[in-house]
Amino acid sequence: MKNTTINALLTGAVLWSLPAIVRAWEPGEKEIDAAVKGADFAGYLNGATTWLNSKMPANADEASLTSLLKDPVFHSVLDQRQFIAKTTPDKLAAFAKADPTNAAFLSWLMKNTEALDLYLIAVVPLGLPAREDNSYMLSTEALGIWNKIMLADPDAKQGIYLKLAIATGLLPPGSVNIGAGGAKTPSDVIERFKHYKTAHQNKELFPSFDHLTVWEYTKIVNSGASNEDLAWGRKMINTWRPDLKKNELVVNSTSEVWRRNSPIDFAGTFKNVLAGGGKCGPRSSWSVFICHAFGIPAIGVGQPAHACVAYKTAFPMAEPQPGSAWKVGYGRGWQVSKLEGMGGTEFIAAVQEREHSAEFSQVEHLRWFAAATPAAKDKIMAVANKIRQDLQLVKTDITASAKADEAEKELVPDKNAATQAVAAAGPIKVAASSTVFEASQFATMLAARTIDCFTGGKQVNFDKSIDNSFIEFNLDVATAGTYTVQVTAATPNMEQVLNVSTGSNPPVTIKVVNSNGLWEKTEAVEVKLEKGATTLKIAAPNQRGMALKSIELKAK
C-alpha cells in the first residue's frame, strides 16, 4: 500500500513538471456561445486575431487574398473580429449583461455572416479619408434598436426586412433634421420599420426600393417626417399628380411648392409646406421628404446661400449627370455642394465606389484583415488599393443640376404646352334627375392635360400659373331648369376656384377647398340649363395646380 501511494505521487509530480498542452483556438459555435455567455469578448478577439494571422498566405498577392476572402470560415471570423474590435469587448460585454435578449441577439448575429456583413459594410464611413484613417467606432445603441425590431417582428431576420431593420437601428427616424415640415416628435423605431414594411408589402413604394443597400435604406428610414405624412405624401401624389410617378420622378413635385414666404405655420406637417410654400430651405425639405415617402434615398444639400437635394435615381442615364445614379437637383452642381460632412465631388466619388458592391466589400474586408495582421499590413493594403483604383467610375458633368432653373425663381409653365383638342366622345346626355360624367369626357380644352388616374380611367389636370385654361363639354339636356354642379377635385393649395358657365350664361364661381391633394367634392353651385344641345365650361384662372376627376349635374 505504501509503495502504491509513493508511485502515484511520483507519477503526479512528473506530469505536473511537463509543459502544459494548450489546445489551439479554433472558430466555432461553441466558442461564440462561451464568449457571449461569459461576456468574454476580449478572449474571443485575441483568439480570432491569432487565428487570422495564421491564415496569412505566403504569397500575399491579389489572387491569394481574394481567394482567402471567399473561404466562408475565414470570412466569418474576419467579420467577427472586426465587429468586436470596432464595438470594443467592454461595450459588448455590458450590452450582453444588460438583458438576456441582448445576449441571445449577439449569439445569433455572430453566427450569421450575412447579417454581420450587411451591418459592417453599412457602417463603413462614406469618404475615403475616413475609411483610410480607420479610427471610426461602433455603438451598441444601433444593436439595441435592431434587436428590439427583431423581437417585435421575426421577418426582420432576413431579406429586405433584415436590411431595413439594420438601417433603422443605424439611423433611426429624426436622427437627421429634415427642416420645415418635420414631425415635432420623432417616430418610434418599431413603428417606422413597420411603416415601410407595410408600404412595401402593399406595393406603395417604387420598385427600386427592392434593390437598395443597407446604407441607402438609412437615407430613407431616417426621415424626420411623421409616418402619417409619409403615407399622405404617397396618396397625394397618386391622386393629384400620378404623372410624376413615371421614371420615379416624384422629386419634381418640388416645383409645386410655391416659391414664397409661407403665410401659414408649417406646424410639423408637410401638408402645410405644400399648401403654404417656401424658399429654398422648405423646398429642399420637401424634396427629401417626398423621395423618402416613395422609398428613394435622398439627402439635403447645402450650397452657398442655398439649399437643395441629392437623390438616387433608378434611371442613371437620365439628365443631369448621365451615368450617375445620384443626382443633385434644384440648385447648382456637385462642385459647390456640401452633404454628409463632405464636398459634393467627394460624395459622388464615394457613392460610385459603393455602387461596385463586390469590389467595395473586398477592399474593406482586406482593410479589416490588415488591421488584424500588422506585420503584413502594407502588403494587404497594396492589394486593396489596387482593387479600388481599378474601378471604372462614371465621368459626368458635375456642374449640372436637375431643375437648376427653379433654384431661385418661380417658373411659369408654357401655356401652349397643351393645345386645344377635340375628344372622340359624343354629347353627354343629362337626365332629369342626376348625371355624373368624367372630366376627361370634354369636347374641347385649352392648356389642360389628360393623364392616367391612379385608380383607373383618366383625370384632367390644370397646371399652376396659367392665365386661362378650361375644359368644355357638349351636353344633351332632357329637361330645362336649374341644376346644381359639383366637381370632384384634388388640390393641395389654398384659395382655389373654378369658374363654371353654361351656354351663353355668365360664369359662376366654385370655391375649391384645400383637400390636401386628395379627391373631394366641391360645394354645389346653381346653373341654368336649356333643353337640348348646350355646353358646360369649367375654367381655372391663374392660380396653383388642380386635378379634376368627375362632374355631377343634379336637377333641383
pLDDT tens digits for range 486-510: 999 999 999 999 999 999 999 999 9
- Going by pLDDT thresholds of 50, 70 and 90, the confidence category of residue 19 is very low
Q: Which residues contact 155 (CB under 8 A, 6 or more apart)?
A: 161, 197
Closest Cα to residue 255, out of 468, 400, 409? 409
Q: What is the pLDDT of residue 413?
A: 72
- Contact, 442 vs 471, CB < 8 A? yes
Question: Same structural domain for residues 431 and 405?
Answer: no
Same domain, 440 and 311: no
The CA distance from 533 to 475, in Å, is: 6
Q: Which three cell numbers stand for residue 206?
A: 417604387
Q: How far is CA 141 from the centre of its chain?
A: 22
Domain final position from 378, 411, 444: 411
Both 464 and 404 in one domain: the answer is: no
| pLDDT above 80 for 326 | yes
Number of compact structural domains in the chain? 2
Place of cell 443597407: 214
Same domain, 400 and 463: no
Q: Is residue 244 part of a domain?
A: yes
- Residue 264, helix vs strand vs coil: coil
- Model pLDDT, residue 412: 74
Read off the pLDDT of each residue in 351-377 and give the average, rounded to a whole number: 97
Q: Which domain holds residue 499?
A: 421-555
What is the pLDDT, as a whole number, of residue 9?
38
Look at the block and give the residue holding cell 375654367.
Answer: 539
pLDDT of amino acid 468: 87
Instruction: Report the Cα–Cα distance between both ends of the chain, in Å, rounded.
Output: 124
How many CB atoms are closer than 10 A to CB 22? 6
341-368: buried (b, 16+ CB within 10 Å) or exposed (e) per residue? ebbbebbbbbbbbbbbeebbbbbbbbbb
Mean pLDDT of 63-69: 97
Whether 521 maps to a domain, the answer reads: yes
Residue 8 lies in a domain: no
Looking at the fold, whether 403 and 542 belong to one and the same domain comes out as no
Are 185 and 265 in the same domain? yes
Judgement on whether residues 399 and 494 belong to the same structural domain of the protein? no
Q: What are phi and psi of 379, to 5 degrees?
A: -65, -45
Number of helices and strands in the chain (H, E): 19, 19
Residue 84 lies in a domain: no
Q: How confident is the model at residue 408 (pLDDT cuts 50, 70, 90)?
A: confident
The pLDDT assigned to 425 comes to 63
Residue 168 lies in a domain: no
User: What pLDDT is stored for residue 7 in this prediction?
Assistant: 43
Determine, yes or no, domain membership for 304.
yes
Q: Give the pLDDT confidence score for residue 467 in this predicted structure.
A: 87
Do 530 and 473 touch, CB atoms closer than 8 A? no
User: In percent, how much of the chain has pLDDT > 70?
Assistant: 94
User: Do 188 and 293 lie in a common domain?
Assistant: yes
In a domain, 274, yes or no: yes
Q: Which pLDDT belongs to residue 426? A: 80
pTM beyond 0.85, yes or no: yes
- Do 453 and 550 share a domain, yes or no? yes
Residues 497 and 400 in one domain: no
**Radius of gyration, CA atoms only, the chain:** 32
- Say what the pLDDT of residue 16 is: 39
Average pLDDT, the chain: 93
Non-local (6+) Cβ contacts of 543 within 8 A are 464, 465, 493, 495, 496, 497
Looking at the structure, tell me whether residues 314 and 216 fall in a common domain: yes
Are residues 297 and 403 located together in one domain of the fold? yes
Residue 6 has pLDDT above 50, yes or no: no
Reduced to 3 states (helix: H, G, I; strand: E, B; else coil), residue 521 is strand
Provide the pLDDT for residue 8.
Answer: 41
Cell (9 digits) for 452? 392616367
pLDDT for 47 equals 97
Residue 382: CB atoms within 10 A of its CB come to 14
33 inside domain: no
**Could you tell me the CATH number of the domain that includes residue 430?**
2.60.120.260
